[in-house]
Amino acid sequence: MLSPETIDKIKARMALASVFEEDLQESFILGSGPGGQKTNKTSSTVRLYHAPSGMTIKYGRSRSREANRWLARRELAEKILERAKSELSARRQAAEKIRRQKRRRSRRQKARMLDEKRKHSEKKAARARVEF
């Protein structure tokens, strides 16, 4: 069984992720995996559907239905926070890429680039047909 402190931490995490109880659809399904007949007969696995995000979490690691309920909520909140963080990170990376592309080259970079172009031009000029 989970302690009241753990449950309070999970509630705080849910609030941070904007996950509210009214938005959740909870159902209990038959478990699977190790545990034998008891797990196969009892509906201790929790399936949570969060309508605003469209996410579904299935959690059944514990044999306790109550523990699975709270742990599923914690996992849902973590996934929503992770998704928001990755979208923010992807947006930041795209902006950084554009910033790098628009940045002016340093004098040294520009000199090196022009030198490479000159060498390439000489190489191509050397391929020209020789006339007698």
* SS3 of residue 121 by DSSP: helix
Structure confidence by residue, pLDDT tens digits, 78-106: 999 988 888 888 888 899 999 999 999 89
Task: Convert the pLDDT of each residue in 2-21 to its tens digit.
Answer: 899 999 999 999 999 999 99
Q: pLDDT of 64-84, one tens digit each?
A: 899 999 999 999 999 999 888
DSSP track, 61-114: SSS-HHHHHHHHHHHHHHHHHHHHHHHHHHHHHHHHHHHHHHSPPPHHHHHHHH
Compute the distance between CA of residue 45 and CA of residue 62 in angstroms, rounded to an integer: 8
Report pTM: 0.66
Domain architecture of the chain: domains with CATH: 4-124 (3.30.160.20)
d(CA 29, CA 26): 10
